[in-house]
Chains A and B, each alone.
Chain A
């Protein structure tokens, strides 16, 4: 073996990383060209002096190294005499499917909570709370139309307050205590004239916004305000059946709330709203008018508009990277920098999906990790340092020739939750490798 190594081509590589804790000396090192990810990872671990190896992934020219170095050079037609700069990142473990919770109808919206609860909205007009063991803890019945969006407000000692927005143009705030399996409607938010597509709650949990097909964005409060009125005037509806229903509701004394603010600006249906998780005065929204807008909540003004040429279906803001990701009808995930005010350029465009990207979600732990769900029933995990997806999760069974659309995705903690046309809430674990060294350090 020894003489073989001597004869094998060697390449000069330079290891760099953006994670300072794993930094090694940035001098060029000669490594055998036949090395793959595993070999290179071993070298880094050796350089760092770790006894328990941490797997690393390597990026060359913005692409993950999935072949040996020599093959990469061959494909890229590079000379072996060049110094190759390899960026290494902590390796993401391949996501594994944990479970799938069956619903009665399409799952249109999902939100996970750090405490291990999952909130789902479904096309059967019901909102459900699940726990990690797959039990449906609570079902909120009351909406007259499919739920389009859900959001957590607070969970305090099994007292859960959550919001659901529906196609029946109302948002409801639900209260539930898991212990006694009781649920009631706190408020009913009325005002929108079209189906509500998206709601987003601010960091302080007092304000939330909703985007609707009537092309308006409304701001609501979660707290009781004096101008709230109970009941509603449904008198104009001649339908007796409906009136009966209304009277029933009246006995429940639902507090109907009106919006405290309205943001008009979109010229088409608003498909998604997202509160800035750092600055609760900032709101981002995307709509069918191909624009992603930044709003100032206090002044109720449209601060910034970024245009592309495709319908925006979902946006997500990452606190860690400060970027907005958006899912589009042209199968692309686009990344925007809201801080760049002067130019409305797309920072990055990630194209790999084969159909509309219906939902996007950032990882809360990493500034680089992103998950997107598409109508092609695929969940893709992206590392935004690379243009190709990191992992590709085929959710629905391949036996069915018509692919089930995925409608929602949420990356909460280590779990990727996705739901869609196949009536199931899919849960995948998306973990980084447990780092024994970093655990001690913080």
Chain B
């Protein structure tokens, strides 16, 4: 393989070499022929065939990359050429020989001289070329021959001189140092000048071939210079001059992206100087920064730190003792003044390292950063409420009690002038009291628990409705009113009597005239509900004609609206959702409030539609009251909450007050003063200042002003059951489970 690969190289070389030696060696050939022709014609002829064979053997050597052999081959080949030339070109090139002999005379003479001498020694030792090839020659160490010539004859080992010969050669032969042993022939071969030159070049790291020029001029196959004449004479196409549509599209896409903000262009970078003066402003005074904290300063030494302090600074023995007994943290100064006779006598300062360490701690632990701590006074977060003293008058103390009932008092009502009080109790009586003295004026026994009672708001009419079992009766305490009023009341209430007959039995309520006995007592009309459920509430419309009754258990007929003068009954709701707790008329508008367990629904009675639903966020509403101006309502709940709703504001409570510790039973607004109150099972009544402003922008002001305690005892975990403000005075009246009604002023 290696042989085949190198073969073309050798051939090429042969070609290259065959060119120039011919000219150069021609004169040599001539001389050689002249020289050889005399003595060695036969020898030459005899060796001709050998030489010709030698060529191929030399080829073999070169294939083995033995550089030495290669050059030897060259030499041999010269010889071959010489011998061949002698025979082939002798006649033809006779003229040339003569011409060439002119320039190469002197050189040739030297050369010939040397050459011939060498040739002589060579010819003595000449051997046929060995054909064993590139094998380790040690294989032939044990044989007398070293290989075979081209004819297969053994080539004998040349005679090998001993050490002495070697030494002599070294001493005598001037070419010894430039001769090398040919391994194939086992003979010393002298290197030629070219070979030496090659060796030298290799040693000098140069290209071995002396004739190789690495800096030949480059042939530019593809040139950068424009041709003078273009290859194509076609005119420039139009698209070279028209702006690119595609580019425009791409640009517009980017522009759109920038406009829409999808693409954020890089800001033009401010060229920063590569180097700048770090300390350029260091000599200027630092700006006053609010966050700047200077490093703590060291205390300056005082007089008593002197080595020779005045006598008054020196501590007495007692002081010294005290100082030593003190805890080091408690000491005012951490040293004792000491006196030395001279500065020389002052010893090294013992606390130096300690103090400097502390100073370092000071510097490094000193707060270099101001923490932004929220320094808010919690007091300031409390809303500024006016002092309750400025909000007087409001009830503050228990004045007296109205005693007489023998069971819990669920309800009472005050006449619109504020002179009389009517109360209904579980002892099945209704009593009328004189408010200022606490005198019981009237007592009726009705035969059932009185659940609700309501004085007629019409000032011309003297009387009230009382609800017991499924009945509602209008009772007039005629002693309290003058004759005229009595007549008016009588006419007012009984005017509808003649309409009663027309009513068919399917009506939800039956109006009936009281018996004579009942008339004696003051009953004017009795309303029987067709359902048998207890009527829990009766409430008036402000004009005193319409009133509503509530029987929560009676299903659809739970809420009924009646007209007193016409003795008519309407059923406003076909279907009732939820358990109704309380109903109420709006004081001004034709609205109707219905409080269910969790919601308050407001209905417009004229339009006959629901206008609003208020969500109280409480679990069980117990009571409801509407502000006399009608824009605010309060509710109390069994889960201790009192909610104030501003109807203009939201359907959620404007304020939720949770001050009671037990369920709230009743809430009430004052009709004239900005007061409202709640009473609870914990036996207390809480009075609040609740100012409603005409200005729509100003929210109501709610201030708790007073807790009225101690008036009612808690009986069977029931405390105050009902509370109501006096219509004209800042007094509140409350009734409780302890059979008492209390007046607070």
Interface residues of A (CB under 8 A from B): 106, 108, 123, 144-146, 167-169, 192-195, 213, 234, 236-239, 241, 268-269, 288, 309, 311, 313, 329-330, 355-356, 375, 402, 405, 407, 421
Given contacts A123-B439, A309-B392, A311-B729, 5 further A-B pairs with CB under 8 A are A167-B480, A192-B482, A237-B486, A268-B728, A288-B729
Residue B216 at the chain A interface, CB threshold 8 Å: no
User: Are A405 and B438 in contact, CB atoms less than 8 angstroms apart?
Assistant: yes
Stretch at the interface among B142-150, B252-260, B329-337, B399-407: B399-407
Residue in chain B with minimal CB distance to A144: B479
Nearest chain A CB to B420 CB, angstrom units: 10
Answer whether residue B657 sits at the interface, using C-beta atoms and an 8 A cutoff. no
Please give me the 5 A-B residue pairs with the lowest Cβ-Cβ distance, nearest first.
A193-B482, A236-B487, A169-B482, A329-B745, A213-B419
- Asked whether A193 lies within 8 Å of B400 as measured between CB atoms, the reply is no
> Which range contains the number of B residues in contact with the other chain?
20 to 34
- B281: Cβ under 8 A from any A Cβ: no
Is B520 a contact partner of A239 (Cβ separation < 8 A)?
A: yes
Give Cα distance in the complex from A236 to B487, angstroms: 7
For B393, give the chain A residue with the smallest CB separation: A309
Contacts of B490 in A (CB 8 A): 238
Give B458-488 as 1s and 0s: 1 = Cβ < 8 Å from A's Cβ atoms: 0000000000000000000001101111110
Q: How far does the Cβ of A5 sit from chain B's closest Cβ, in whole Å?
A: 51
Nearest-neighbour CB distance to chain B for A19, whole angstroms, equals 39
Contact check, B417 vs A213: say whether CB atoms are below 8 A apart. yes
- B487 contact set on A, CB distance < 8 A: 236-237
Nearest chain A CB to B674's CB is how many angstroms away? 15
By a CB distance below 8 angstroms, the chain B residues around A269 are 417, 419
In the complex, chain A residues whose CB is within 8 Å of the CB of B392: 309
How far is it, in angstroms, between the C-alpha of A167 and the C-alpha of B477 when the chains are bound?
13
Give the CA-CA distance A356 to B480 in the complex, in Å: 24
* Alpha-carbon distance A233/B24, docked complex (angstroms): 183
Q: Is the CB of B437 within 8 A of A355?
A: no
Interface of B is mostly: mixed
Q: For the complex, give the distance between the alpha carbons of A144 and B486 in Å.
A: 15
Given A268-B728, A355-B400; A236-B483 close (CB under 8 Å):
yes
Q: Specify which of B401, B436, B483, B728 is in contact with A234 (CB 8 Å cutoff).
A: B483
* Chain B residues whose C-beta falls within 8 Å of the C-beta of A108 in the assembled complex: 437
B199 to chain A, nearest CB (A): 136
Compute how far the CA of A375 lies from the CA of B487 in the bound complex, rounded to whole angstroms: 36
Q: In the complex, how many angstroms separate the beta carbon of A34 from the nearest chain B beta carbon?
A: 41
| B4 → chain A closest CB, angstroms | 137
| A145 contacts across to B, CB distance below 8 A | 479
Q: Contact between B439 and A106 (Cβ–Cβ < 8 Å)?
A: yes
Give Cα A146 to B439, complex, Å. 10
Question: In whole Å, how far is A422's beta carbon from the nearest beta carbon of chain B?
Answer: 13
Residues in A with CB closer than 8 Å to B403 are: 402
Shortest CB-to-CB span from A327 to chain B, Å, is 12
In the complex, residue of chain A having the shortest beta-carbon distance to the beta carbon of B491:
A236
Q: Which residues of B contact A238 (CB under 8 A)?
A: 490
Q: Which B502-540 residues have C-beta < 8 A from chain A?
A: 519-520
Whether A356 contacts B483 by the Cβ 8 Å rule is no
B residues 397-451 with Cβ under 8 Å of A? Answer: 399-401, 403, 417, 419, 436-439
Say how far A376's CB is from chain B's closest CB, in angstroms: 9
- Name the one of B419, B437, B480 contacting A407, with C-beta atoms under 8 angstroms: B437
Give the complex CA separation of A167 and B433 in angstroms.
13
A241 with B439: in contact, given A268-B728, A329-B745, A356-B745 (CB under 8 Å)? Answer: no
Question: Can you identify 25 A-B contacts, CB atoms within 8 angstroms?
Answer: A106-B439, A123-B439, A144-B479, A167-B479, A168-B479, A169-B482, A193-B482, A194-B482, A213-B419, A236-B483, A237-B486, A238-B490, A239-B519, A239-B520, A241-B520, A288-B729, A309-B392, A329-B729, A330-B745, A375-B400, A402-B403, A405-B400, A405-B437, A405-B438, A421-B437
Residues of B within 8 A of A194 (CB): 419, 482
With both chains docked as a complex, state the minimum distance between the C-beta of A326 and any C-beta of chain B, in angstroms.
15
Q: Which residues of B contact A168 (CB under 8 A)?
A: 479
Min CB distance B403 to A, Å, is 7
| Nearest opposing residue in chain B for A233, CB measure | B483
- Interface residues in B371-407 (C-beta closer than 8 Å to A): 392-393, 399-401, 403
Q: Which residues of B contact A192 (CB under 8 A)?
A: 482
Q: Report Cα–Cα, A407/B425, bound state, in Å.
A: 27
Max chain A Cβ within 10 angstroms of own Cβ: one of B403, B437, B490: B437
Inter-chain CA distance A145–B432, complex, in Å, is 14
Select from chain A the residue with minimum beta-carbon distance to B728. A268
A219, chain B: closest CB distance, angstroms: 19
Instruction: Write the nearest CB–CB distance from A160 to chain B, whole angstroms.
Output: 27
Contacts of B519 in A (CB 8 A): 239
Distance between Cα atoms of A192 and B481 in the complex (Å)? 11
Q: A213-B419, A237-B483, A238-B490 are in contact. Are A288 and B437 (CB under 8 A)?
A: no
A234 partner residues in chain B, CB cutoff 8 A: 483
Residues in B neighbouring A309, C-beta threshold 8 A: 392-393
In Å, the complex CA distance between A108 and B439 comes to 11
B406 to chain A minimum Cβ distance, whole angstroms, is 16
What are the residues of chain A within 8 A of B485 when measuring CB–CB? 193
Q: With A213-B419, A236-B483 known to touch, is A375 a contact of B399 (CB < 8 Å)?
A: yes
Q: How near does chain A come to B538, taking the closest CB pair, in angstroms?
A: 26
Chain B residues whose CB sits within 8 angstroms of the CB of A239 once the complex forms: 519-520
Say whether A288 contacts B400, CB under 8 Å.
Answer: no
Interfacial chain A residues near B438, Cβ < 8 Å:
405, 421
B476 to chain A, nearest CB (A): 12
Give the complex CA separation of A139 and B403 in angstroms.
29
Q: Which B residues touch A169, using CB under 8 A?
A: 482
CB distance from A110 to the nearest CB of B (A): 15
Closest to A236 in B: B487
Complex alpha-carbon distance, A421 and B400, angstroms: 12
Name the distance in Å between A51's Cβ and chain B's nearest Cβ: 52
Nearest A residue (CB) for B438: A405
CB nearest neighbor in B for A213: B419
Given known A237-B486, A288-B728, A309-B393, contact A356–B479 (CB-CB < 8 A): no
How distant is the Cα of A213 from the Cα of B745 in the complex, in angstroms? 20
| Nearest neighbor of A170 in chain B, beta-carbon distance | B482
Within 8 Å CB of B417, what residues of A? 213, 269
Q: Which of B417, B480, B482, B729 has the most chain A CB atoms inside 10 A of its CB? A: B482
In Å, the complex CA distance between A310 and B75 comes to 154
A268 contact set on B, CB distance < 8 A:
728
Q: What is the bound-complex CA distance between A356 and B393, given in angstroms?
A: 15
Nearest neighbor of A403 in chain B, beta-carbon distance? B400
Contacting residues, chain A, for B520 (C-beta < 8 A) = 239, 241
Complex formed: what's the CA distance from A426 to B401 in Å? 23
Q: Of B399, B401, B486, which one neighbours A356 at CB under 8 angstroms?
A: B399
Do A193 and B437 touch across chains, with their CB atoms under 8 A apart? no
Cα A391 to Cα B172 in complex, Å, equals: 171
Shortest C-beta distance, A419 to chain B (Å), equals 12
- For chain B, residues 717 to 745, give those with C-beta under 8 angstroms from any C-beta of chain A: 728-729, 745
B514: min CB distance to chain A, Å: 13
Q: How far is the CA of A144 from the CA of B436 in the complex (A)?
A: 20
Cα–Cα distance between A239 and B476 once the two chains are bound (Å): 14
**Distance in Å: Cβ of B527 to nearest Cβ of chain A:** 21
**Which A residues are CB-close (under 8 A) to B482?**
169, 192-194
